[in-house]
Amino acid sequence: MTLQFNTETFRDDYSFHNSQRAIDRFPFPFHEDSYMYAVNMERHQGGPADSVYEKRFDVDEHYVAEMADRAKVLGDDPLRCQSLPHMTLAGWDLLELIMVSKSEEYPDLFELHRKGREWYWINKPLGIEDHFTFMDDTTLPYGPMEYITRQTQGDFCVLDQREDNLWMDAGMVTTQADWSLDFDIGMNFFEWHAPVPLAHEKGIFKRALKFLLNIQQGAPARRLNWTMTVNPLLDTSPENYHKWGIQKTTLTSENIGAKQHLRVELQTFFRLPRSNALVFPIRCYLMSFQDIVSKPKWGRRLNRVVRDLPEELASYKGFIDNRPLMLDYLSQFDDGLPTSFGVWPDEDITPTLQR
Amino acid sequence: MSTFEFPPSIRSRPVYCVLEARPGKAHLMIADAEGAEALIDLALRAPELMAKAHVIYIPKATDFGAALNALNPAQYYEGPSYSAAVSRIKRVFSDASMGLQIYLSGTEGLMGQALSEAMQAGYDHTAIQTEHRGSLARRMQCVHCKGITEDVSNDPFQCSHCGLNLFVRDHYSRRLAAFQGVCIDAEEPGNVPPSKELYS
């Protein structure tokens, strides 16, 4: 295997870390020096070599540790994975999509051997080998959605499509930016987004829904979203907010570079063939401020975005109280020079910090 | 009349209307407390409904039972609490045939729970009429321990199960028939603002 998996934790001692490769391929979400909601969709048909956009389901150095964290979350709270009764077929669709994608794109890590309905799945990084009968729930240790998403990084929302709307009728949600699957399951697209400020008024959700309803098989789409997290904590759930909320108050000017993380979600959207459901994986990438500012363009830009973000958004994303501390830190890495358009670090054309 | 105009809110929060008579083979009316007044008003406007009406009423601490019964519904039941009445409500939904009209009135907790039962029985929630009357108290789910606290009329409040101090969100789950309560002092334990009556 070419990929080395980190031994690391996303809780307690927080030994999570990004290698230089992970820093270089981090999906920095800001294409310009300011941010406002947009229906920033694009095709998810590959991307630059070794970028997080290249494969349908990116597998990176955090894979094994993230799956161990997910198992821990599910052990503590099985309600993080739920599927309404009519969603089992979509679960099989999802299992097929992931197994086929991973075995095609990472043949050294995953193998899928199919003889009719008799399937044989090998997941080398997690040491899993299972024979099962496709579409027969009794031949897997979990339901199909739970089985495959215990082996795939990112949260998964499986959305039923009916009445010109999308319904959050199944999901595996253990690395979420503060929303509850258990509460939101069964809601439609507008209802589960109800708490988001400003975007409804801008018509964002209406346009996004129109786009998503029309996603076709074989033509997946993607977008980025982002928030802020103190400590590399994957499970920033409302369920556990009374436990992790206090960590937001532990930032100091000394530890902020290492402790404060930009949390980026690579959201992708795939039409599923039998159920006509839409699967919406939400893959979380974390990077500390000190690693971000190692790229001069990203350091300059992050300072400007955080500084100029409307209060409602800073508040909704949960960092309004820490914004002054963030800006004290980030402004050291902003000399006011212009930045190039686009998300890439552009190190070949970006001047080093002028101070 | 105990009506209240709710201020505009987020998209998951239920909105209520004024009950109107709709043609149907049978009419199921479920109300609690001042919700009785909405049924009485409905019967005044459309007395012909009552001969085909089944009224399920939970008075709480009010006294509208006699007035409701005087409308001469085909069936009348008065129960001491929603949980006492719920098995009967489930039975009525499972026995119902096409053409049943459903009318819910009273507190948000009563309407929400009855609506959730109706949905589980296969009714489309948009076809069910709801009219709010009486108390503004809410049925709250603690997002942390998942326990439900009934009749919450103050914000913040203490979860009746785990004891955390929760603030009252407008985010609402039809499936759970509950609003969401979230810990208010997670980032500063013990710093709980004074509790205020909802909408005061």
CB contact (8 A) between residue A187 and residue B173: yes
B172 phi and psi, to 5 degrees?
-130, 140
CB contact under 8 A, B12 and A186: no
What's the rounded Cα separation, in Å, for the pair B161 and B145?
Answer: 7
Among candidate residues A84, A15, A60, the one with its CA nearest the CA of residue A264: A60
What ipTM, to 2 d.p.? 0.94
Q: Which residues of A touch B164 (CB under 8 A)?
A: 242
Pull the structure tokens for residue A320.
Answer: 């309004």
Coil, strand, or helix at residue B165? strand
A344 three-class SS: coil
Flag whether residue B120 sits within 8 Å of chain A, measured between CB atoms.
no
Tell me which residue in B173, B174, B186 faces A241 most closely, judged by beta carbons: B186
**Is pLDDT of A237 > 80?**
yes
B8 touches A at CB < 8 Å:
no
For chain A, give every domain's residue range. Answer: 20-40+47-333
Nearest to B175 among A186, A200, A248 (CB): A186
Report helix, strand or coil for A327.
helix
Chain B residues near residue A242 by CB distance under 8 angstroms: 144, 164, 183, 186
pTM of the model: 0.95
- Contact in structure between B153 and B137 (CB atoms under 8 Å): yes
Kindly list the residues from chain A whose CB atom is less than 8 angstroms away from the CB atom of residue B173: 183-184, 186-187
Under 8 Å between Cβ of B90 and B117:
yes
d(CA B85, CA A48): 62
The beta-carbon neighbor of A183 closest among B10, B173, B189 is: B173
**A156-194 confidence digits (pLDDT tens):** 999 999 999 999 999 999 999 999 999 999 999 999 999
| Angle made by CA atoms B191, B196, B198, in degrees to the nearest 5 | 130
Distance from C-alpha of A25 to C-alpha of A79, rounded to nearest angstrom: 33
Residues A239, B144 contacting (CB under 8 angstroms)? yes
Hey, of A77, A165, A181, A183, which one would you mutate to test binding to chain B, going by the most B CBs within 10 A of its CB? A183
In this complex, the residue of A183, A193, A240 whose CB is nearest that of residue B141 is: A183
A–B CB contacts, 8 A cutoff, strictly below: 64
CA–CA–CA angle A226, A167, A80 (5° rounding):
65
Q: Range with the lowest mean pLDDT among A45-59, A95-109, A190-204, A292-306?
A: A190-204
Tokens of B91: 């039975």
- The CA distance from B164 to A200, in Å, is 31
Q: What is the structure's pLDDT at A201?
A: 87
Contact B11 A191 (CB under 8 A): yes
The interface residues of chain B toward chain A in range 147-176, judged by CB-CB distance below 8 A, are 164, 169-171, 173-176
Closest-CA distance, B167 to chain A, in angstroms, reads 12
Whether residues A79 and B146 touch (CB distance < 8 A) is answered with: yes
Say whether pLDDT at A200 is over 90: no
Which member of A56, A70, A150, A223 is catalytic? A223
B189 touches chain A (CB under 8 A): yes
Q: Phi, psi (5° rounding) for residue A101?
A: -60, -50
- 8 Å CB contact of B12 and A249: no
CA atoms of A276 and A270, how far apart (whole Å): 10
Residue of B nearest to A321 (CA): B187
Mean of pLDDT over chain A? 96
Single out the residue of A73, A185, A190, A89 nearest to residue A136, CA to CA.
A89
Known catalytic membership, residue A263: no
Inform me whether the pLDDT recorded for A2 exceeds 90. no
| B chain contacts of residue A230, beta-carbon cutoff 8 Å | none
Q: Which CATH architecture has domain B26-132?
A: 3-Layer(aba) Sandwich (3.40)
pLDDT above 90 for A199: no
Strands of the sheet with B157-158, listed across from one edge: B148-152, B138-142, B178-183, B165-173, B157-158
Q: By C-alpha distance, which of A175, A150, A179, A198 is closest to A266?
A: A175
One pLDDT digit (tens) per residue for chain B, 200 residues = 568 999 999 999 999 999 999 999 999 999 999 999 999 999 999 999 999 999 999 999 999 999 999 999 999 999 999 999 999 999 999 999 899 999 999 999 999 999 999 999 999 999 999 999 999 999 999 999 999 999 999 999 999 999 999 999 999 999 999 999 999 999 999 999 999 999 98
- More confident: A298 or B2: A298
Contact A180 B180 (CB under 8 A): yes
Tell me whether residues A241 and B169 touch, CB distance under 8 A: no
Q: Between chains, do A183 and B12 touch, taking CB under 8 Å as contact?
A: no
Give A1's pLDDT tier (boundaries 50, 70, 90).
very low
Structure token pair of residue A341: 């358009």
Burial class (CB in 10 A: 0-12, 13-18, 19+), A77: middle
Q: Give the pLDDT of residue A284.
A: 98
- Option in A184, A190, A245 nearest B186 (CB): A245
Q: CB of B187 within 8 Å of any CB in chain A? A: yes
Inter-chain touch A242–B144, beta carbons under 8 Å: yes
User: In chain A, which residues have their Cβ closer than 8 Å to the Cβ of B144?
Assistant: 238-242
- Delimit the domains of chain B by residue range: 26-132, 138-197
Give me the residue from B11, B164, B174 closest to A190, CB to CB.
B11
Instruction: Please give, rounded to a whole number of angstroms, the shortest distance from the CA of A206 to a CA of chain B.
Output: 12
Over the stretch A94-152, which tens digit does the pLDDT of each residue have?
999 999 999 999 999 999 999 999 999 999 999 999 999 999 999 999 999 999 999 99
Which residues of A make CB contacts under 8 Å with B? 79, 180, 182-187, 190-195, 200, 238-246, 248-249, 321
